[in-house]
Structure 1
Amino acid sequence: MVNWIWLGMIVISVLAAAVTGRMDAVTEAAFEGAKSGVTVSFGLISILVFWMGLMRIGEDAGLTEKVARLLGPFVRLLFPDVPRNHPAIGYIMSNMSANLLGLGNAATPMGIKAMQELQKLNPDKETATPAMCTLLAINTSSITLVPTTIIAIRMTYGSVNPAEIVGTTIAATAVATAAALLADRWFRRRAARPPVSSGPPRPSRAAPEATPPHSGIAEGG
């Protein structure tokens, strides 16, 4: 669906430029966009390689495992319907650890694996389980301690202090995560709440039996 939206925007832009006689502006914008994309990509590669290297050092030093252990009780609280030693728990903790360190590219594969494991526990393969919805909410609004990607973009465009957004990013992601968790808990309780019954149906009143009409013949003589 997204591909069709982008295709529609491109077609409309080209048609509008052709009608107004500004095809040169469309061509210039396309080349400028391609140039900016390449520039930003190179900037992202440098910072991502740096942080991925630090992540690998932390992983070899046991930092990732310690973070996962610290998140263990919190994860079990958020996912009470997932068995304690199920593989999905490990993938969820790895996903959350990578998101905390701002490594979204490293968190995505772990999130996909967690979803695949949660799907194995899903009795209805066509409907997402509460655990899957919780994981999606947390992965989307995860608290980020180091916004690696944003810092890289700011460095690429010559920001004087690229890392000055760390504090505001932590605050914003914390608020977003709290809102996501509150909404998730509310919907879980709403789904678990039994439907309100209006009481037993009242018995319908049966129509009174019709008395046979009096024949008018007197009995006896």
Structure 2
Amino acid sequence: MLNYLWGAMLLLGIVYGAFHGRLPEITSAAIDSAKEAVTLCITMTGVMSLWVGLMEIAQKSGVIGRATKKIQPFISFMFPGLPKGHKAREYITTNIIANVFGLGWAATPAGLKAMEELKGLEEERKARPVGGRRAVPKGTASNEMCTFLILNISSLQLIPVSIIAYRSQYGSVNPAAVIAPSIAATLLSTVAAVIFCKLMDGRKQPWKQ
């Protein structure tokens, strides 16, 4: 849908510019934007490499492992129907930690793996009840899937790496000035997400009986 929307906006702009004799400006803007996009990609690649490298160092040094153990009570609280030792726990934890450090690029692969594991859990529930819970109806996302998606979207971010990189690229005097507002905003969104998930999880659903 977004592809059609962006395509329509571009086409409308070109047609409007052609009717008003602005095609040279459109051509110039397209060339300048292409050049700026390449520069931005190079900048973001450098930033991404730096922070993913730091995450790798943190993992090898055991920092991620200790954080994973610390966050398990929160995982159990948010995903009461997720069996202990299930593979999805590892991916969910990795996704949350990466998001907290502002590494959305590193969080995406773990998030996809987590969804695959949660889908596998639902397939097991179709075969037999897991933890006293039946599988959700076909075509319906499970509580765990919905909770994980909401947490992923609303995640607390201590360091908004992408925004800092964008601000630096476009000449901000203090690119890191967004850290405090970002922490406050994402903290509120995470608290709201947790409250919403627990309220919805408490509702009686036929497949939870």
TM-score normalized with structure 2 length: 0.86
- Counterpart in the other structure of 1:169: 182
- Counterpart in the other structure of 1:202: none
Task: Give the drift of 1:21.
Answer: 2.3
- Aligned partner (choices 106, 111, 135) of residue 148 of structure 2: 135
- Counterpart in the other structure of 1:179: 192
- Counterpart in the other structure of 1:158: 171
> Which structure has the higher relative contact order (CA within 8 Å, separation 6+)?
2
Separation in 2, partners of 1:11, 1:19: 12
Task: Give the drift of 1:20.
Answer: 2.3
Separation in 1, partners of 2:110, 2:70: 18
CA 1:43–1:166 in structure 2 vs 1: closer, same or farther (change >3 Å)?
same
Check conservation: 1:17, 1:26, Cα contact below 8 A.
Answer: yes
Matches within 5 A, 1:83-122: 83-122=83-122
Separation in 1, partners of 2:69, 2:84: 13
- Counterpart in the other structure of 2:48: 48
Task: Give the drift of 1:70.
Answer: 0.9
CA 1:9–1:65 in structure 2 vs 1: closer, same or farther (change >3 Å)?
same
Structure 1 unaligned regions, length at least 5: 195-221
Larger Rg: 1
- State the Cα deviation string for residues 51-105 of structure 1 (Å, max 9, x = none): 1111111110011111111110001100011111111111000100111111110
- State the Cα deviation string for residues 1-59 of structure 1 (Å, max 9, x = none): 22122211122222222222222232222222212211211221222211111111111
How many residues matched? 193
- Counterpart in the other structure of 2:16: 16
Q: Say which SS state the counterpart of residue 160 (structure 1) adopts.
A: coil
- Counterpart in the other structure of 1:59: 59
How well do the aligned residues superpose, as a CA RMSD in angstroms?
Answer: 1.6
Separation in 2, partners of 1:125, 1:15: 46
Check conservation: 1:100, 1:142, Cα contact below 8 A.
Answer: yes
Check conservation: 1:14, 1:23, Cα contact below 8 A.
Answer: yes
- 1:79 to 2:92 alignment: no
Pick the structure with more helix per residue: 2
Check conservation: 1:142, 1:177, Cα contact below 8 A.
Answer: yes
TM-score normalized with structure 1 length: 0.82
Q: Say which SS state the counterpart of residue 132 (structure 1) adopts.
A: helix
CA 1:45–1:193 in structure 2 vs 1: closer, same or farther (change >3 Å)?
closer
Structure 1 stretches of 4+ with a deviation exceeding 4 A read none
Task: Give the drift of 1:159.
Answer: 2.1
Q: Percent identity?
A: 40
Separation in 2, partners of 1:91, 1:167: 28
Structure 2 unaligned regions, length at least 5: 123-134
Task: Give the drift of 1:182.
Answer: 2.0
